[in-house]
Amino acid sequence: MSLLEIKSLTQQFGGLTAVSEFSTRFEGRELMGLIGPNGAGKTTVFNIVSGFYKPTKGKILFKGKQIDGLKPHRVTAMGIARTFQNIRLWHDMTLLDNILISQHYNLGYNLFDLFTRNRRYMENEKRMTSIAMELLEQLNLVQFKDEKPRNLPYGIQRKIEIARALSVKPDLLLLDEPAAGLNSSDVQDLIQLIRWIHNEFDIAIWMIEHQMAVVMSLCSWIQVIDFGKTIAEGTPDEIQNNPDVIKAYLGDDNI
Ligand SMILES: Nc1ncnc2c1ncn2[C@@H]1O[C@H](COP(=O)(O)OP(=O)(O)OP(=O)(O)O)[C@@H](O)[C@H]1O
């Protein structure tokens, strides 16, 4: 059984077809890339997979179960976590609380648990704090645990967002433009971090990224979309030399 199977996904917004008949498959723990020019439909694909949009058409199977149309927290609970193009953190909470809160949400406490702080609640709290602290140690973030994200450099904020996504122990991690806004030394750190996460956590990673150096050095398979349609897929070498891809990025005049 494939980890993720997407069949003929289509998303329309009024008269605009943002994604058209998009299909892909993760057999296991691959690290794959989704690239394409601005407005090609990449984030829309991630928004559908993570439950933010219900597709107009198509089917998504995750570990054999249909997930298209499920609410985001249900998708997360099934094992898909994501980061966003524009970092989304709670800037008035500490780094540690940012990580704990996403686990809370995932646990689905009821009001009774919260008010009574019963044994179930206390045990979960302990377990979640230990998971969060272990992650912070693994990602070299412990020194910032009591800081608020707004006071930290952008590169660290990116890392916090990734740590938060990992804290729910996903089988598939979606990274939406993780290198956006990073300087070149942070980009090198990010490449190493993603490679390390892929090996250490043994998870599948699907990445949208405009910085070709990042995609080409990390991904074993890359899919390219333009105007919502897949125009190419293959290994980094195949993609770099594909005339349709070059045309989509540079236009006819530059070839
Ligand atoms: N909620 C929405 N309502 C209407 N149109 C939308 C919505 N979300 C995306 N679109 C449109 O769908 C198209 C694809 O957008 P999307 O954000 O998926 O592209 P992208 O490939 O991620 O682009 P970028 O690389 O610039 O982030 C665009 O024309 C965008 O304006």
- The CA distance from 35 to 15, in Å, is 24
**Are the CB atoms for 245 and 222 separated by under 8 Å?**
no
Any ligand 1 atom below 6 A from CB of 48: no
Residue 228 C-alpha to ligand 1 middle, in angstroms?
9
What is the identity of the amino acid at 210? H
Pairing of strands 204-208, 172-176: parallel
Q: Is the ipTM of this complex over 0.90?
A: yes
Domain count, the chain: 1
CA atoms within 13 A on the CB side of 110: 1
* Structure-token match 């107009």, residue found: 56
- Edge-first strand listing for the sheet containing 80-82: 80-82, 172-176, 204-208, 31-35, 221-226, 229-234
- The CA distance from 129 to 107, in Å, is 13
What is the atom index within ligand 1 of the atom nearest the CA of 41? 18
Question: Would you say how long the chain is, in residues?
Answer: 255
Please choose from 43, 49, 207, 223 the residue to mutate so as to test ligand 1's pocket, defined by most ligand atoms within 8 A of CB. Answer: 43
What is the atom index within ligand 1 of the atom nearest the CA of 46? 18
Any ligand 1 atom below 6 A from CB of 58: no
Q: Please provide the distance, in angstroms rounded to a whole number, between the alpha carbons at the two ends of the chain.
A: 41
CATH number at residue 228: 3.40.50.300
- What pTM was estimated for this model as a whole? 0.91
Tokens for 48, please give them.
């559908």
* Burial (0-12, 13-18, 19+ Cβ within 10 Å), 29: middle
- Among 249, 204, 209, 203, CA closest to 226: 249
Please choose from 10, 13, 46 the residue to mutate so as to test ligand 1's pocket, defined by most ligand atoms within 8 A of CB. Answer: 13
Q: How many CB atoms lie within 10 A of CB 10?
A: 16
Query: Residue 98 belongs to what domain range?
Result: 4-254
Core vs surface per residue 105-140: b (16+ CB within 10 A) or e: ebeeeeeebeeeeeeebeeeeeebeebbeebbeebe
Q: What is the pLDDT along the chain (255 residues), one digit of tens a residue?
A: 899 999 999 999 999 999 999 999 999 999 999 999 999 999 999 999 999 999 999 999 999 999 999 999 999 999 999 999 888 888 889 999 999 887 766 565 666 666 666 677 778 778 888 888 999 999 999 999 999 999 999 999 999 999 999 999 999 999 999 999 999 999 999 999 999 999 999 999 999 999 999 999 999 999 999 999 999 999 999 999 999 999 888 776 554
Can you give the pLDDT at residue 237?
94
Continuous segment of H or E residues that includes residue 113? helix 111-116
